[in-house]
Each structure stands twice: as structure tokens, then as C-alpha cells.
Amino acid sequence: MDVLVTGAAGFIGAAVAEVLLQRGDRVLGIDNFDPYYSTSLKEARCQRVSVIGADRFELIRQDFADMAGLEQALAGRSFDRIVHLGAQPGVRYSLTHPHAYSRSNLVGHLNILEIARAREVEHLVYASSSSVYGGNAKLPFAVEDRVDHPLSLYAATKKADELMSETYAHLFRLPVTGLRFFTVYGPWGRPDMMVWRFTERVLRDEPIPVYNGGEMMRDFTYIDDIVAGVINCLDAPPADDGTAKAGGSTKPHALYNIGNNRSEPVMKMIGLIEEACGRRAQLDLLPMQPGDVTQTHADITAISRDHGFAPTTPVEIGVPNFVNWYRAFYGI
């Protein structure tokens, strides 16, 4: 199969590309190497993917929010399916840089839908986020729940992506699957995320910022479990048969949570990081951040039922795996 992977230099995109290549698919990656975080980390991820993929991996350095540039870059290249993981991520950054989100997550998402429509691809799998649940009180979060009250612009753009995708599934019968990721972590992760930031600071003997006095819980999902779920979904496009799909659409549009189905206290994660680093953390206890939510917990009934999704990596294994990778990568 020939797969277009957007955000191929990103944390999840590079990991998905790697597994697609390992099983024999061809991957065309797109990424603009956005400087939101270290571009040398993005280069290193692509280097790793290139070695695995050899001549079955091609990378295009292109901004997908630029439609004319995107069409030109893709001219003469073919693909059967798309995994759209490129986006401007981060909840807190969306309070200060709103236009980065409108550009990559709204215009960019629409452009990828247009490409999928024009090429009549068999399936488009795209990234949404657990942040669409906002401050919902009902836990665990289920795809049937209402998600009309986002707490950040980031969350609002992800909800908008789901709505735009629904329209394309309706009007153009495009088979689409949206995945609401829950706090993904693991080797080759993202430097702006909690597990990375805390590990970095503990190893430097610097204080770690702990919001809401540590009274936070997250459903942390290990990267290998996420990749397995993405690829299982990619392989099984929703049928255009009028039946209700996960998330409630009667169009060929399924929507799933993809999480670990365990909500872990942030203080427990700090303990695991301390253990793996072999030193104590200094805590800088801070108030709740605007835009943040106190707890996430994924109900994964729908994706387990439809795609056999079953996460296998508890945080007790995933956190030391990450810390060991981090120390080896930076030689610390």
C-alpha cells in the first residue's frame, strides 16, 4: 500500500511511518519542520525512518496549509490512503499563538481533505485530541459524549477538524476516521510534553513546574500502542452503508478515543520518573493553567470493539523506556 503521512517528522508521524515501512508499505511523508520545537530532533527522526524505509520512503518538505504549494509538491505522486498527523499541537501555546492553529489545523486540515477528495483515496485517518472533551465531568470520556465546550483554541480547532471531516464524508462519501489521542509519550517524544519536560529537569537538578498543586490526572498512552491503533484503523475504512459508526455518524466517518484506559495521577508519574532517573525531583507547585483540564480518561470500548485495540504498555514500563531512550539519545 502507498500511504501519505503528514507530520512525518513529528513524534507520532515518524513512529507510524516506521511501522508502515517495516511491514512493506511505501510512505510519502510531508512535513514543514515547523520550529515550534527542536528541528534537529525532527531531522533525527526522519533520518531514522529513512534508514528503515530506504527507497520506499520519500520525504517532502512542504507546508500543507499552502494549497498551491501542496498540489505542486504532490503532482505526479500517487497514494492509496492518508494518515494526517501534521498539526500545530499544544494547549498552552494556543493562548499566545492562535494563528498557528488556524493555519495548520483549520486551513491545513481542509487542504488535506481536498487532496483526499481529489485523489479519491480509500481512507483518510486524521488526528483529533482528548482536549475536545474540555472540562466534561462525566468520566471516562466516551465518543458518544457531547463535546461542545472546548477550553482552548487548540481543542476548538480539533473539534472543527472533526466537523469538516463529517461534511466530506457526507458530501463526497470520503471514508474518514478521526482519532482522539490521549497524552502520548515514549521514545522520540515531544519536548513540550510533561514526561519529557520533567525528565529533562530532574536530570539537570532543576525544579519541575507542577500545576494545580499536582492534583491532575492523565490517561498516558505509550507510543507503540498508539501506532498499533492507528494502523489497525487505517487498514479498515468505515463502510458507506448507512449504519451508525462510532461517534454517531451514519456517513463513512468513524471517531474513536485512543488511550490507555487508565487515568494516572501526575504525582505517580513524577515518582516513576524519579525512580528511572535515580534522583529526586524538586517540585515547583503552581496554580492551574488557563486552558488546562484536571483529568482525562479514555473510554476505549468503541476502538476495542471495532479494531481489537488493546494497549499493552503500562506507565511502569513506558516511563523507564522513555527515560532510558532520552539518556541514550542525549548521552546523559
First to last CA, the chain: 40
Catalytic residue among 36, 37, 93, 154: 154
Residue 108 CB partners (closer than 8 Å, separation 6+): 63, 64, 65, 86, 87
DSSP β-ladder status, 217-218 and 264-265: antiparallel
Q: Is the dihedral of CA 66, 67, 73, 79 positive or negative?
A: positive
Report DSSP letters for 248-267, one per residue.
Answer: S-SSSEEEEEES-S--EEHH
Report the nearest approach of ligand NAD to the CB of residue 231 (Å).
15
Beta carbon nearer to ligand NAD, 113 or 207 = 113
Beta carbon nearer to ligand NAD, 58 or 240 = 58
Cα separation, 206 vs 198, in Å, equals 9
Beta carbons of 264 and 177 less than 8 angstroms apart: no
Beta carbon nearer to ligand NAD, 190 or 251 = 190
Report the nearest approach of ligand NAD to the CB of residue 221 (Å).
7
Residue nearest to ligand NAD (CB): 10
Question: How many C-beta atoms surround the C-beta of residue 2 within 10 A?
Answer: 15
Cα separation, 67 vs 293, in Å, equals 34
Give the binding site for ligand NAD (CB under 6 A). Answer: 7, 9-13, 30-34, 42, 63-65, 85-89, 104, 108, 127, 129, 181, 183-184, 190
Beta carbon nearer to ligand NAD, 42 or 251 = 42
Report the nearest approach of ligand NAD to the CB of residue 243 (Å).
27
Catalytic residue list contains 154: yes
Report the nearest approach of ligand NAD to the CB of residue 235 (Å).
19
As annotated, the active-site residues are: 154
